[in-house]
Structure 1
């Protein structure tokens, strides 16, 4: 553990010009990309990069690339903006509300599916907590609230506690989830702030837990320091689940994915979702075709314990969360895990195989549709 980071945390970098390790032949392309898509990281996370390896997975996650200027895709492929009911609140699935409480992250992932938050002048974050909380109070079907962004841990602990305290006063809100990548990007945000750990201990009670929805994408992010941060929060009563997209050049082989899933489970972090990479502008270089990704995930699970293979392979489509179940010689099988339209819930879909398909629309019409009993 770096003693300097324990005192004041790692230095934040917002320009690639501050990175002295960038190879000369990449600088021009990196700076060109940076003009369109933000860069943000810190000394700790950049220290995880092996600069002698041009295919280093952490480098691919955080360093801009000219491939991001590929125009394919859109900025809101899952139509999140269509589910905004009041400023900063998305309500797509009946029991779950999303509060977008921050438009800043500890680092900007190059595959981010919410690039629009960093680009749009019209912010989507909560500006009036009263309006957002009133919406939740007035909708008793909402049993859990996900605080997201950006990253909620970019808020000061007092700001975050103010929101959580009010949510805890709403009887029908049973679960509060905090979606964060901070244990991967900057675990010192947690370790250097005892007040945050105390806040989790206060509000993560025996009958109403706070869930930390982490986002570790590669085993190299699970450093000793990151695991220290996770351990502190588990001791304070938080429950951990992890989600990651399957990403070309990062975790798109069975060995690296199995290592990630196993180490998460060993640390007490439930592998929750592996997402299909959303077709957001700039993300094409990270996208793995659905059927290839399915093979990778299933082979990785062969090398995992039962606890590590609880993960589901999910496409977060505008119509709902679609679970990719399996394939055979002719067909690929999917079902709705969550649905925006209740009539789609439990819908079971059989598609003719398409090795190039990267999103639901690539499959055209299903070969058959039925309802699971």
Structure 2
């Protein structure tokens, strides 16, 4: 199949299975076109982030589920049952919108976002915000609110302001952070009005930059502008097969973030959800990549943590106990609780080619 045929097949599958459709901004698509032209194929990392591939529509792994993290089990009872999620005593997640600037092929919240798209209306959002503020006032242990989605930066400045100032009106909430991919999909979304709002309320900004080639001159300039307003900038991203599953790709990305004053928090292990096999990596190879990254890089590069998300919160490598060779399910123990994680089968874990993932470099 050529790319057009793959797109058509994926369109049918996404409608049937509740996946997010292909959506890309002109800004990001220009980078993809340059990548395809340089490589002469559609195997580059930025293309895989945005468009379906053959393995995306055909590859399956055992133990895939619709929603591995199961945010519904930690819902906070807002108007929309999945808009508020609390896994930790001191913080909660508020989904401000189900809409993104671009739909990432690797998205691990596709189930919730596709479900919420039909009800993402102003009256529903107003009800959610009202219930959020009531919830925060009744739960003094919550001191941090994480604004996610969808992408909060896609909201009008007035709507974003209403959410932020509403949360700030709750005295016990000390910290607000925003998670966004707007920085690489649509840097212009950071308007002067929104930057002023973010700086005024001293928010933490967490980007989701997954590959060094997403950081172009315009992205770098916008990051510099945010830093000029003294915003605290962070990043976290998933480890994605055939996109960034090599220590040299990770080193380059983490180095570029550090040079721009962005602190990377975590590298995520992809959830074992339906249609995710194209991006997943076996745990043993993830540990191998992490160890090699540690050997070749300074501490300010390799101090990032490798984690996966679960219904009980983040699970780290140090919680790993052993794999179950019979079922290929890895066991992790955190706070005395056992968490099972379906590992990606070894025979399916074909590493990405470095000459494609870092195609701008010269490889022999």
* TM bucket, shorter chain: 0.7 to 0.9
| Residue from 76, 90, 100 that aligns with 1:85 | 76
**Aligned: 1:100 with 2:59:** no
Is the 8 Å Cα contact of residues 24 and 101 (structure 2) preserved in structure 1? yes
Of structures 1 and 2, the one scoring higher in RCO (CA 8 A, sep 6+) is: 2
Q: Matches of residues 189-200 of structure 1 in structure 2 within 5 Å?
A: 189-190=189-190, 193-200=191-198
**Aligned: 1:55 with 2:43:** yes
The size of the alignment, in residue pairs, is 319
Structure that is richer in strand per residue: 1
Is the 8 Å Cα contact of residues 264 and 308 (structure 1) preserved in structure 2? no
- Counterpart Cα distance in 2 of 1:354 and 1:34: 26
| Residue from 308, 313, 326 that aligns with 2:306 | 313
Question: C-alpha offsets along residues 259-315 of structure 1, whole Å, 9 cap, x if unaligned?
Answer: 011111111111101010111221111000111012112212333332222211001
Aligned residue in 2 for 1:241: 234
| Residue from 26, 51, 66 that aligns with 2:3 | 26
Instruction: Identify unmatched segments of 5+ residues in structure 2.
Output: 325-329, 349-364
Structure that is richer in helix per residue: 2
Question: C-alpha offsets along residues 42-61 of structure 1, whole Å, 9 cap, x if unaligned?
Answer: 11101112113232100010
- Counterpart Cα distance in 1 of 2:340 and 2:179: 32
Alignment CA distance shift 1:123-1:309 (3 Å): farther
Alignment CA distance shift 1:152-1:330 (3 Å): closer
| Residue from 27, 31, 36 that aligns with 1:44 | 27
Alignment CA distance shift 1:58-1:139 (3 Å): same
- Counterpart Cα distance in 2 of 1:103 and 1:350: 29
| Residue from 263, 268, 278 that aligns with 2:261 | 268
- Counterpart Cα distance in 2 of 1:354 and 1:115: 20
Q: Matches of residues 167-316 of structure 1 in structure 2 within 5 Å?
A: 167-190=167-190, 193-204=191-202, 210-316=203-309
Deviation of the 1:357 alpha carbon: 11
Deviation of the 1:118 alpha carbon: 3.9
Question: C-alpha offsets along residues 102-160 of structure 1, whole Å, 9 cap, x if unaligned?
Answer: 10111100010111134326658845111111101211111110000000011011111
Q: The residue matched to 2:47 in structure 1 has which SS?
A: helix
Is the 8 Å Cα contact of residues 320 and 333 (structure 2) preserved in structure 1? no
Is the 8 Å Cα contact of residues 96 and 125 (structure 2) preserved in structure 1? yes
Deviation of the 1:29 alpha carbon: 1.5
Is the 8 Å Cα contact of residues 68 and 281 (structure 1) preserved in structure 2? no
Aligned residue in 2 for 1:12: none
| Runs of 4+ with >6 A deviation | 326-333
Is the 8 Å Cα contact of residues 324 and 333 (structure 1) preserved in structure 2? no
Deviation of the 1:214 alpha carbon: 0.6
RMSD: 2.9
